Structure 1
Amino acid sequence: MKLGFHIGYWSSGPPHGAVEAIVEAEKLGFDSVWTAEAYGSDAFTPLAWWGASTSRIRLGTNIVQMSARTPTATAMAALTLDHLSGGRFVLGLGVSGPQVVEGWYGQPYRKPLARTREYIDVVRQVFAREAPVTLDGEFYQLPLPGGTGLGKPLKPTVHPLRTDIPIFLAAEGPKNVALAAEICDGWLPLFFSPKSDAFYRAALEEGFARDGARRSFADFEVPASVPVIVHDDVEEAASWIKPSLALYIGGMGAKGTNFHFDVFARLGYEDVCVRVQELYLSGRKDEATAAIPTSLVEDTSLIGPAEKVRDELAAWEETVVTQLLLRGDAATLAAVAKVLG
């Protein structure tokens, strides 16, 4: 199983030591480095800036939010970064959730799967550069009908370095995971657990079986963001992860529409999720964090003494996951990479 480095999105400002960590990840032989965006920092700019300090490691977005840009704008950025990096770019996309899509971007959220299919269709047309880009879709129309009537189909002026820049899709629900298998080159899971492997494997198999599917299990990538904390005290290690889980389960999304909540509910923690969400949405964040059992952390993370982490890694190696995406500073990456072997 390969290793990658996930920087994520910024909190209140740029993360300290990011360049040093990326350089160390490349030195350690990591396969990839990833950036993200929510409603603060964007994913493309940090990746370009920090990626300029590397020469081999793949540069990916995990994720670019589709509502933030038209599909042609996203394709332009991807073409540009792929050239600048010498063909090392991976475009990770995601729909985000209705709170961000409608509240931050002012875009409609309805029919996210159909919208994703059209979006990726346009992006692939730009990458291919075989003909002027056109689409008469429900969500995207190129050229735009009406208006001045002067719009015309266009091809990108830039000739792509690669016409098959890989596209990965972030997804949590089974229908979206199946869509990733059908039309993409990889799937970016969040809060994956070996216990959920059969569920997601079935969703991927459904997508691979569809007419025109691009990939199969043999050449499909699944880089999963997995917290790894090597520490003698399991409870203390879990305490560093619980606040983030409380945020995602309790505060990321509205009550009744929280895809992260659904992931943990499927793992058997629905009662916990209900309690965490109630506490978090009422402003009792510390209590929400305390309501998360350590077992939930252990199901979706690798934490504890080195021997325990190594033993539990075996279960991850039997799953659909092809790469573990780690977080931390340069020293942490080196220490964890040594344990994971």
Structure 2
Amino acid sequence: MKFGLQLGYWGAQPPANAGELVVAAENAGFDAVFAAESWGSDAFTPLAWWGSRTERVRLGTSVAQLSARTPAAAAMHALTLDHLCGGRAILGLGVSGPQVVEGWYGQPFAQPLRRTREYVEIVRKVLAREAPVTSDGKHYALPYAGPGATGLGKPLKPIVHPLRADLPIWLGAEGPKNVAQTAEIADGWLAIYYAPRLAGMYNEWLDEGFARPGARRGRADFEIAASAQVVLTDEPEAEIERMRWVTSLYIGGMGAPELNFHAQVYRRMGYAAEVDEISALFQAGRKAEAAAAVPDELITDTAIFGDEAHVRTRLKEWEDAGVTMMLISVSDADQMRRLQTLVST
């Protein structure tokens, strides 16, 4: 099992030590570095900036939001980054949620599965550069022929010859239909809140996608990157306490009450009653109580905190469940150096 560094997206200011962490990750034997976006920093610029200090690690977006840019623009970002880093780019894509898509990007959220499929098809056409790119998709039509069109749109091929026509595309997916489609059309799955004890359920979803006619890959060459908090510590209780606040935010606040994909993930884990309580408290503005309502086991299902022996044992559970990469956040270079012994063995 490989390891990836998750830089995430920025808070109020850029992280002060991200460049140091990226170099430390490469030196520690990490396989990849990923950057995310929400509604502040973008996912591509940090990879180009800090990734320029690296020579080996793959550079991926986890995830670039579909509604932030057109499929052709995403392909341009990916092929540009791939050239700059010598063929190490991974294009990780995801739909985000209706609050961000409609509230921030001003785009419709409807039919996210169909939009994802059309988006990936166009990106692959750009990267293949076999013919001028056209699409008769419902969501992404090329050339555009809708309201306000001049009728002068011209199918084009990218001026720059992509370095790799098969540049890997990984998809962030949480629900069964989305995961199945990911297995069908993508090269990897960016899994959030992955719980090894539910591997059988995930495998059913994945196998459905692998079995579809024309599926791009099979299980043997498909990557599963699970984002997880992994911290070597003699005080796991402190880390669990810290995660209560983050977890309550994602359950109660990162999505509309009527549609929160993160909350649905935890419901599938068996925490429906807890999710209801946390959501109600958070949405009532009682954030401290919402955090306190997060049970320890809800956190430790999807995170690893403890000494080296405990972390090694738990990492083996993820690997045995089929995870090919642990995508982890690291707070400082010292923690990175402590993790190096786990990465190199």
Q: TM-score, with normalisation over the residues of structure 1? A: 0.98
Alignment counterpart, residue 335 of structure 1, candidates 318, 331, 338: 338
State the identity as a percent: 55
How far apart are residue 321 of structure 1 and its match? Answer: 1.0
C-alpha separation in 2, matches of 1:198 and 1:124: 31
- Asked whether 1:206 is paired with 2:208, we answer yes
Query: For the Cα contact (< 8 Å) 1:44–1:61, is it kept in 2?
Result: yes
- Asked whether 1:224 is paired with 2:236, we answer no
Alignment counterpart, residue 168 of structure 2, candidates 166, 169, 188: 166
How far apart are residue 272 of structure 1 and its match? Answer: 0.7
Partner of 1:253: 255
The superposition leaves residues 265-305 of structure 1 with CA deviations (integer Å, 9 ceiling, x where unpaired) of: 11111111111101111111111111111111111011122
The superposition leaves residues 233-268 of structure 1 with CA deviations (integer Å, 9 ceiling, x where unpaired) of: 332221121111111011010112011101111111
Query: For the Cα contact (< 8 Å) 1:327–1:333, is it kept in 2?
Result: no
How far apart are residue 339 of structure 1 and its match? Answer: 4.3
Aligned positions, number: 341
C-alpha separation in 2, matches of 1:300 and 1:68: 28
C-alpha separation in 1, matches of 2:50 and 2:310: 34
The superposition leaves residues 50-82 of structure 1 with CA deviations (integer Å, 9 ceiling, x where unpaired) of: 000101100000000000001001101111000
Other structure's SS at 2:269 match: helix
Partner of 1:64: 64
Letter of the 1:258 partner, please give it: N
C-alpha separation in 1, matches of 2:299 and 2:342: 19
Partner of 1:110: 110
How far apart are residue 330 of structure 1 and its match? Answer: 1.6
**1:12-23 residue pairs with structure 2 within 5 A?**
12-23=12-23
**1:114-133 residue pairs with structure 2 within 5 A?**
114-133=114-133
How far apart are residue 337 of structure 1 and its match? Answer: 3.0
C-alpha separation in 2, matches of 1:169 and 1:310: 27
The superposition leaves residues 188-219 of structure 1 with CA deviations (integer Å, 9 ceiling, x where unpaired) of: 01000101211111111000000110101100
Other structure's SS at 1:287 match: helix
Q: TM-score, with normalisation over the residues of structure 2? A: 0.97
Partner of 1:80: 80
Identify unmatched segments of 5+ residues in structure 2: none
Letter of the 1:231 partner, please give it: T
C-alpha separation in 2, matches of 1:192 and 1:152: 44
Partner of 1:265: 267
